[in-house]
Amino acid sequence: MIRIILDTNFLLIPLQFRVDIFSEFNRICKFNYELYIFEQSICELSNIIEEQSGLNKKAARFALKLIKLKNIKIIKSEKIDVDLLILDSINKDVIIATQDAELKKELLKKGASLIILRQKKYLHLIERKLYK
């Protein structure tokens, strides 16, 4: 079973770009997978709701609803920085879904598999062979 870990910004895609990331996961993932998010990402979404306005605020609210609706599993951790948590969690059975350019670069350097948004309308899987 492959674990797909969603970065905070990835859950903003459905409302910001009108992309159904869940049907896209089914389209590109020809293997069994489960979706995960770090507990700290939920805190980040809550902060967006409190501190921002407009589309970002709406997207964050919608993201919190999706986490419950789609039964995305929550990973608890002591660390606070989501990017560090993601970098620490990569292995051959994990795919990271992110839109963060700096994080993507780091993950690709480390040989991680990624799911990214392309042309603001579909998801793309970058499979890498991780030697760890």
pLDDT computed for residue 30 by the predictor: 93
Q: b/e for 30-40, b at 16 or more Cβ within 10 A?
A: eeeeebbbbeb
Inside any domain, residue 11: yes
More confident residue, 9 or 131: 9
Euclidean distance between CA atoms 40 and 19, whole angstroms: 24
Mean pLDDT of 111-120: 96
Mean pLDDT of 114-129: 93
Inside any domain, residue 83: yes
The CATH code of the domain that includes 35 is 3.40.50.1010
Range of the domain at 55: 2-126
* Number of domains, the chain: 1
Inside any domain, residue 121: yes
Question: Has residue 61 got a pLDDT over 80?
Answer: yes
